Amino acid sequence: MTKIHRQDSPAELADTHQRFLVSTEGMDDAETYQHYKKNKNYFQYNTAETKLAFQQMNSKRCSFCTKFISDFDTEMTVEHIQLKSVCPRKIFLWSNLLCACRTCNTKRSTKAYDKARYLDPTEEEDVAAYFRFALDGQIEVNKELDPAQQEKAKYMIDLYCLNRKMLVCERRDFFAALMADDEYYNCLTKQGISSQSIIFWATFTYYKRSREQNGC
């Protein structure tokens, strides 16, 4: 996960949010959620405007596994930080929405939101510092953090299954390719293996190469 700078709410979504609040005034959460389910065609959050906002805000990447979403129209999903069924009055609230690949969204499914442990990459200034990457492709908890912070990192890894097989294999292959690169290897030999700059450089190189390959 990396820091994401949240843009202002798309105008259409903000309008939908207000209309939905007005239409559900006086309803309890269960009634509000049922009202949403019955009126999905009228109240929508995954619109062309919202897709464009996330595409620009996330550089076409998932907020959690950070994979490039090649087909943004069909594979980008809207992740609700607080679940629709639990907090229906936040279904269209921009600050409750994040961009996710279909797999991360599916892996989380309806797992409960824990405010004390959830890491929102638009709110946490140094969210990347919570994690470390091993050369075998595993994403790990940063053991240099205090216990509460470590618990947050573990919670997010588990919540979105960030060590699923495909991601681990891709990370492992990427690190192997980096170490086979003479320029990178020469720099690597001059630093301690635990150097944070190695991770930053590797991440930067990964994004740079991915963007070049996808014409961004």
Question: What is the biggest distance separating any 2 CA atoms in the chain, rounded to whole angstroms?
Answer: 65
Residues 141, 153 contacting (CB under 8 angstroms): yes
With a cut of 80, say whether residue 23 has pLDDT above it. yes
Q: How confident is the model at residue 198 (pLDDT cuts 50, 70, 90)?
A: low
Distance between CA atoms of residues 214 and 154, nearest Å: 31
106 CB contacts (<8 Å, ≥6 apart)?
A: none
Which among 72, 1, 17, 192 is positioned nearest to 9, based on CA atoms? 17
Mean pLDDT value of segment 61-77: 87
Q: What is the pLDDT of residue 5?
A: 93
Which among 200, 204, 198, 207 is positioned nearest to 179, based on CA atoms? 198
Both tokens assigned to 154: 């573990």
Q: What is the pLDDT of residue 187?
A: 62
Q: What is the pLDDT of residue 189?
A: 59
Q: What is the pLDDT of residue 173?
A: 80
With a cut of 90, say whether residue 162 has pLDDT above it. yes
With a cut of 60, say whether residue 192 has pLDDT above it. no
Give the pTM: 0.80
Q: What is the pLDDT of residue 190?
A: 60
pLDDT tens, residue by residue, 29-44: 999 999 999 999 999 9
- Which alpha helices (DSSP H) does the chain contain, by range? 11-23, 29-38, 48-58, 72-75, 102-108, 147-159, 165-179, 182-188, 196-213
With a cut of 80, say whether residue 161 has pLDDT above it. yes
Mean pLDDT value of segment 62-84: 89
Residues 149, 174 contacting (CB under 8 angstroms): no
3-state secondary structure 27-79: CCHHHHHHHHHHCCCCCCCCCHHHHHHHHHHHCCECCCCCCECCCHHHHEEEE
Residue of higher predicted confidence among 177 and 190 = 177
Proportion of the chain above pLDDT 90, given as a percent: 62
Q: Which of 4-18, 124-138, 139-153, 199-213 has the lowest mean pLDDT?
A: 199-213
